[in-house]
């Protein structure tokens, strides 16, 4: 039986055979720890009634494990040089489709409808996300009209800490609010940097995200909610009042409107954005942008 792609010996053989050199600009780090790959699949709880989207399959180390458990796997690989490698490593798995495309530019609904034979099955995203575009990729999936039930994704531990952070902590920010608005987030386990080739500078974390049936808080205008959140964290050391007046304006009418909103929501303008809960951000947004507007 052919050794797994992630087996360190086979990884080296494939790298040599195809003369592959890592591109730092694409954040390429290949997993070579079989136990960690098994654990990722365990966290994702895949079965034959699940379709999976993977981003950045590399040489197929995780893809192989996904293929053995899921119904179908759709993998987006931006690096044309890896298509030949993946044609070899994924040859034994007819349920894998690799698309040579930047996932951020992909029409997810269109591609999945073309690839997945049974579109009724739940879709999960399971991937070792490239470090340099972790946040844009996650938001791309969260904001897509495609129904995604769960995400089990690997990222820098620091980014995972930011996503799972609560109010009043240093790590809490607009990313925490944006992700927690849509999904419940928890860190499943930590992956040491020694599990990769080449070895990155930092440890990684596996984040398990489950889509909420309804968003964490009720807002009348999502766009305004996220804009207000971003404004509140614009300069972390500044007070909420300073950040909001920088964003909305400093004329008297605007100041009066902001003062009234903060007072109505019982939020001290001297607080910093990082101390506000999702509910407080929602209350403030709903006061500033009522339902009938």
Asked whether residue 51 is marked as a ligand-binding residue, the answer is no
Asked whether residue 149 is marked as a ligand-binding residue, the answer is no
Q: What is the DSSP string of the chain?
A: -PPPTTSHHHHHHHHHHTT----GGGT--EE--HHHHHHHHHHHT--TT-EEEEE--TTTHHHHHHHHHSSEEEEE---TTHHHHHHHHTTT-TTEEEE-S-GGGS-HHHHHHHH-S-TTS-EEEEEE--GGGHHHHHHHHHHSSS---EEEEEEEHHHHHHHH--TTSTT-SHHHHHHHHHEEEEEEEEE-GGGEES--SS-EEEEEEEE-SS-SS--S-HHHHHHHHHHHTSSTTS-HHHHHHHHH--SHHHHHHHHHHHHHTT--TTS-GGG--HHHHHHHHHHHS-TT-
Asked whether residue 77 is marked as a ligand-binding residue, the answer is yes
Asked whether residue 102 is marked as a ligand-binding residue, the answer is yes
Asked whether residue 288 is marked as a ligand-binding residue, the answer is no
Asked whether residue 128 is marked as a ligand-binding residue, the answer is yes
Binding-site residue ranges: 29, 31, 56, 77, 102, 128
Q: Which residues contribute to the annotated binding site for S-adenosyl-L-methionine?
A: 29, 31, 56, 77, 102, 128
């Amino acid at each position: 039986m052919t050794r797994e792609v992630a087996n360190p010996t086979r990884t080296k053989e494939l790298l040599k055979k195809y003369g592959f050199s890592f591109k730092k600009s694409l954040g390429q780090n290949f997993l070579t720890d079989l136990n960690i790959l098994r654990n990722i699949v365990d966290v994702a709880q895949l079965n034959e009634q699940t379709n999976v989207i993977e981003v950045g399959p590399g040489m197929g180390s995780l893809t192989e494990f996904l293929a053995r458990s899921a119904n179908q796997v759709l993998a987006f690989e931006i690096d044309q040089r890896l298509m030949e490698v993946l044609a070899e490593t994924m040859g034994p798995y007819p349920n894998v489709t690799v698309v040579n495309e930047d996932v951020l530019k992909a029409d997810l609904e269109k591609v999945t409808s073309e690839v997945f034979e049974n579109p009724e099955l739940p879709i999960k995203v399971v991937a070792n996300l490239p470090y340099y575009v972790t946040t844009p990729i996650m938001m791309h999936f969260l904001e897509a009209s495609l129904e995604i039930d769960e995400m089990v994704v690997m990222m820098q531990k620091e980014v995972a800490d930011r996503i799972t952070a609560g109010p009043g902590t240093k790590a809490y920010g607009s990313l925490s609010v944006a992700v927690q608005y849509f999904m419940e987030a928890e860190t499943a386990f930590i992956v040491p940097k020694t599990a990769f080739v080449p070895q990155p500078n930092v440890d990684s974390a596996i984040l398990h995200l489950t889509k909420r049936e309804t968003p964490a808080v009720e807002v009348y205008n999502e766009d305004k909610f996220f804009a207000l959140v971003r404004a509140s964290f614009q300069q972390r050391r500044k007070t909420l009042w300073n950040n909001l007046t920088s964003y909305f304006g400093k004329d008297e009418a605007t100041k009066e409107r902001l003062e009234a909103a903060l007072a109505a929501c019982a939020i001290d303008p001297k607080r910093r954005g990082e101390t506000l809960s999702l509910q407080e951000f929602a209350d403030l947004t709903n006061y500033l942008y009522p339902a009938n507007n």
